[in-house]
């Protein structure tokens, strides 16, 4: 097991590569999901706040 | 094509695709990592560092692939005035920049043990670096323009200009490289790659593609939601102004 | 049609000269930037000759970028761009004429003073000739590619830094072929293949720059 983590002496290079990829891809994914959730929550709020517009919006969506 | 231009239809389509692409991303990346880290041999020349390739090469592919997607979406936006195409191009850019950054970082981490230096002005690394600047320029331009329609149009033109220039930039960098580089650099990958190495490479590449789909759809969703939020906020502001008048 | 175009170029040149010598500012920038290098790396003749081509070309690219913001900005601000769009000739020709005027006003002076700065950088004989020829063949492309950035960033606050990020990566082929031509001449080789590639890049820049800048400005006018 420890030889696996040692990566033949190249542990730093191999694990930094995988770590950097995880950090960047994970970061983009989490940030994008958070933004999507925030945007849809804000949209629901506004729809509730302006109910008279709601019907027209939905009619437009269905068209 | 315009069949999918309708945001509501897109949202429905996205909710059908997303669970599948999420599962495929996770499955492919987990199995890809298993083969990349455990079930593949070390290279006889590069030793264990060859495992960096399973991140580096697919990320470099994705960097190019994402720019092509952006260019195709930009063309669709300019030619057919397809509203979702704008959103797609804009949503893809940060993902592409992320893959490009991964390709650069892993390239450096691979270069140090293999070439004895963190950075080599090798033609491929240099081209990827320039691609990174093209992504940054696109994102800076689109974010600098406030009017969404103007931003979409400017972004689409810039993405297409970048795309048609990429072959010329690539050619010039190769030309420059042959003038300056003694051909001592170890060839990355190479055409004759062992099947045991090809499998993790393909799995990781496919995983990255489905990751791209998942994140792109989520980003497009939030762009569309935010556009409607802006519209509703404007309407509310207008209503309250009318009420006050 | 040709007369209108000539009139247009003349108008742009007049404007460039009248704005307090604004056109020459890029050229002065070029000279100062080049002069900084001997002060930075030291006056050793071989070192200077070795880096001369790269330094002069990079300085020329930067001089092009700093002069770009004037390309469409003034006409956009005072609304004369709308008038130009109404001229009885294709708008793309108007854009191309403006790019040409930009080259004449801002980059041709750079080409003209380049042999003096080349001499100061210890370039001699064929290498100096190749430098001037390369700049002459390559810099028009900088105006046309730059026009894309200038058209996209028109009307934006703090367009300067954005412009350099948009345009400089697209200048890389001109830089590579231009420097390669001078280096070839310095080594006693034939610079012609590099010059031909450079000119090819310029022709491509003329086509793509005119088309993209026209498309970008048209939306701005709508």
Q: Where are the domains of chain B?
A: 21-181+195-217
User: What is the spatial distance between Cα B122 and Cα B134, in angstroms, rounded to a whole number?
Assistant: 19
Residue C56 in this model has a pLDDT that exceeds 90: yes
| Cβ contact, residue pair B102, A47, below 8 Å | no
What percentage of chain B has pLDDT greater than the value 90? 47
| Cβ contact, residue pair B141, C152, below 8 Å | yes
pLDDT at residue C157, as a whole number? 78
**H, E, C per residue of B127-138:** HHHHHHHHHHHH
| Cβ contact, residue pair B219, A36, below 8 Å | yes
pLDDT at residue C35, as a whole number? 95
pLDDT at residue B149, as a whole number? 85
Comparing C-alpha atoms, which of C61, C51, C37 is closest to residue C172? C61
Residue B73 in this model has a pLDDT that exceeds 50: yes
User: What is the spatial distance between Cα C123 and Cα B124, in angstroms, rounded to a whole number?
Assistant: 31
Handedness of CA C124, C129, C132, C134 (dihedral sign): negative
- The ipTM value here is 0.90
Model confidence at A63, pLDDT cuts 50, 70, 90, reads very low
Nearest to A33 among B42, B102, B218 (CB): B218
| Cβ contact, residue pair C169, B150, below 8 Å | no
Measured between beta carbons, the chain A residues lying within 8 angstroms of B232 are 43, 46-47, 50, 53
Which of C173, C194, C207 to mutate: most B Cβ within 10 Å? C173
pLDDT at residue B184, as a whole number? 45
Q: Flag the least confident range among B54-68, B97-111, B175-189.
A: B175-189
Asked whether the beta carbons of B80 and B1 are under 8 A apart, the reply is: yes
Average pLDDT over residues B64-78: 94
User: What is the spatial distance between Cα C54 and Cα C172, in angstroms, rounded to a whole number?
Assistant: 12
List, as ranges, residues 33-52 from A with C-beta within 8 Å of B. Answer: 33, 35-36, 38-40, 42-43, 46-47, 49-50
pLDDT at residue B102, as a whole number? 96
| Cβ contact, residue pair B222, A43, below 8 Å | no
The domain segmentation of chain C, as residue ranges, is 2-221
Residue C175 in this model has a pLDDT that exceeds 90: yes
pLDDT at residue B191, as a whole number? 46
Residue C93 burial (CB < 10 Å; 0-12/13-18/19+)? middle
pLDDT at residue B132, as a whole number? 96
DSSP-assigned letters across all residues of B18-81: HHHHHHHHHHHHHHHHHHHHTSSPPBTTTBGGGGGHHHHHHHHHHHHHHHHHHHHHHHHHHHH-
| Cβ contact, residue pair C204, B144, below 8 Å | no
Residues pairing with C50 in the sheet: none
Instruction: For residue C172, give how far its alpha carbon lies from the nearest alpha carbon of chain B (Å).
Output: 7
Average pLDDT over residues C30-41: 94
Q: What is the pLDDT of residues C85-119, one digit of tens each?
A: 888 888 999 999 999 999 999 999 999 999 999 99
Which of B128, B161, B163 to mutate: most C Cβ within 10 Å? B161
For C212, which residue in chain B has the nearest alpha carbon?
B157
| Cβ contact, residue pair B106, A20, below 8 Å | yes
| Cβ contact, residue pair B95, A28, below 8 Å | yes
Q: Counting one residue from A and one from B, how many pairs have CB atoms under 8 Å apart?
A: 106
Q: What is the pLDDT of residues B26-49, one digit of tens each?
A: 999 999 998 888 877 777 677 788
Asked whether the beta carbons of B65 and B57 are under 8 A apart, the reply is: no
Q: Chains with 3 or more CB pairs closer than 8 angstroms to B?
A: A, C
Residue B163 in this model has a pLDDT that exceeds 80: yes
The domain segmentation of chain A, as residue ranges, is 22-63
Residue B21 burial (CB < 10 Å; 0-12/13-18/19+)? buried
Asked whether the beta carbons of B91 and B223 are under 8 A apart, the reply is: yes
């Amino acid at each position: 097991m420890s030889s696996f983590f040692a990566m033949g002496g190249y542990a730093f290079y191999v694990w930094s590569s995988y770590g950097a990829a995880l950090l960047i891809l994970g970061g983009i994914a989490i940030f994008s999901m958070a933004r999507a959730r925030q945007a849809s929550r804000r949209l629901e709020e506004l729809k509730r706040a302006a109910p008279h517009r709601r019907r027209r919006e939905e009619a437009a969506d269905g068209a | 094509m315009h069949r999918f231009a309708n945001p509501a239809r897109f949202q429905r389509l996205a909710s059908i695709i997303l669970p599948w692409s999420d599962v495929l991303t996770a499955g492919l990346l987990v199995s890809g990592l298993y083969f990349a880290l455990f079930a593949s041999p070390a290279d006889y020349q590069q030793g264990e560092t060859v495992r960096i390739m399973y991140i580096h090469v697919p990320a470099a592919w994705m960097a190019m692939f994402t720019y092509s997607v952006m260019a195709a979406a930009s063309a669709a936006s300019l030619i057919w005035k397809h509203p979702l195409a704008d959103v797609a191009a804009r949503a893809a850019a940060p993902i592409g920049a992320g893959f490009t950054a991964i390709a650069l970082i892993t390239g450096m981490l691979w270069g140090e043990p293999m070439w004895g230096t963190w950075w080599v002005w090798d033609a491929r690394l240099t081209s990827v670096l320039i691609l990174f600047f093209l992504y940054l320029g696109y994102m800076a331009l689109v974010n600098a323009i406030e009017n969404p329609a103007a931003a979409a149009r400017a972004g689409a033109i810039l993405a297409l200009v970048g795309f048609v220039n990429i072959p010329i930039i690539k050619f010039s960098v190769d030309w420059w490289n042959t003038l300056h580089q003694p051909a001592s650099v170890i060839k990355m990958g190479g055409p004759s790659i062992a099947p045991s190495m090809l499998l993790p490479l393909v799995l990781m590449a496919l995983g990255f593609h489905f990751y791209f789909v998942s994140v792109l759809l989520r980003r497009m969703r939030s762009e569309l939601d935010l556009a409607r939020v802006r519209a509703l906020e404007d309407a509310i502001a207008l209503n309250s102004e009318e009420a006050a008048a | 049609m040709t007369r209108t175009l000539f009139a247009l170029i003349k108008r742009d040149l007049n404007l460039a000269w009248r704005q307090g010598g604004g056109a020459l500012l890029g050229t002065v920038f070029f000279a100062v930037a080049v002069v900084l290098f001997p002060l930075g790396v030291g006056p050793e003749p071989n070192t200077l000759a070795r880096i001369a081509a790269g330094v002069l070309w990079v300085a020329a690219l930067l001089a092009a970028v700093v002069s770009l913001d004037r390309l469409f900005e003034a006409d956009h601000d005072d609304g004369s761009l709308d008038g130009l769009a109404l001229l009885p000739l294709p708008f793309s020709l108007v854009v191309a004429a403006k790019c040409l005027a930009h080259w004449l006003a801002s980059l041709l002076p750079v080409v003209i003073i380049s042999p003096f700065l080349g001499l100061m950088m210890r370039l001699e004989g064929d290498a100096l000739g190749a430098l001037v020829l390369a700049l002459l063949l390559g810099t028009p492309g900088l105006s046309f590619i730059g026009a894309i950035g200038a058209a996209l960033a028109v009307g934006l606050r703090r367009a300067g830094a954005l412009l350099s990020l948009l345009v400089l990566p697209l200048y890389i082929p001109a830089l590579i072929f231009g420097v390669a031509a001078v280096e070839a001449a310095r080594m006693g080789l034939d610079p012609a293949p590099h010059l031909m590639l450079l000119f090819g890049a310029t022709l491509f820049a003329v086509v793509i720059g005119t088309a993209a800048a026209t498309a970008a400005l048209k939306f701005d006018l709508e």
